[in-house]
Amino acid sequence: MIRTLTMRRNKPLLRKTPMSRGSGFKTPAAGASLKRAVPAQAVTANHAREPKLPRLSKPMRSRGMKGRPPTAEEARFMDCMGKLPCIACQKDGWTNHVISLHHIDGRTKPGAHFLVLPLCGAHHQQDDTDPRGRISLHGRKKSFQARYGTERELLTECLDLIKENLTATASAGANVEQITAEL
């Protein structure tokens, strides 16, 4: 038994095997034939089609606030900086080891991960509700720089602290040339 399906252009489709009765197949009414569904766009030929936008080869993903990932050398340097206390708290006479690294010159430029400062949350990005009255760098940059110095000056102070830590580690038995070569 061969079933004939009519198409739009009166070209019949022939099924080689009939559909099984158990799969929900219902016989068409007498004289009716199975027809292929026509998309809604083809039925409404009077309406103009919207132009298709060119498709990108890959969908763009938002990188958010990430920037480029650090290289192995930059990661080692950032680990050394992360061991330092907040440089602004230290200038105020406090020691705060809970820090986040502030990137001085963005995060996407070459060598950007070498230009970082260890700052606590209040000195990095917090608002003016701090009970100790700490000035945040992102909130009030000019007053932060007037009180603590420019970011480059703070960076040189941090590098001096790292060198002091390395010489202290060297006196404990580590090789200073090997450690400074990594930085």
Which H or E run includes 12?
A: strand 12-14
Mean pLDDT for 145-168 is 92
Q: Determine the pLDDT at residue 154.
A: 95
Tell me: the pLDDT tens digits for 96-114? 999 999 999 888 888 888 9
Q: Determine the pLDDT at residue 131.
A: 78
Q: Is the dihedral of CA 137, 131, 97, 86 positive or negative?
A: positive
Tell me: the pLDDT tens digits for 9-40? 666 666 677 766 655 555 555 545 555 555 55
Q: How far apart are CA 96 and CA 130, in angstroms?
A: 15
User: 154-157 contacts: CB < 8 A, separation 24 or more?
Assistant: 154/87, 154/88, 154/117, 155/104, 155/115, 155/116, 155/117, 157/87
Give the fold, CATH level 3, of 72-182: Herpes Virus-1 (3.30.40)
What is the chain's mean pLDDT, rounded?
Answer: 75
Say if residues 179 and 170 touch (Cβ distance below 8 Å). yes
DSSP letter string, 58-69: SPPPP-TT--SP
Say if residues 67 and 102 touch (Cβ distance below 8 Å). no
Mean pLDDT for 76-104 is 92
| Domain range summary for the chain, segments of one domain joined by + | 72-182
Q: How far apart are CA 101 and CA 79, in angstroms?
A: 10
* Residue 97 DSSP code: -
The whole-model pTM stands at 0.57
Q: Is the dihedral of CA 22, 23, 29, 35 positive or negative?
A: negative
Asked if residue 54 has pLDDT above 80, the reply is no
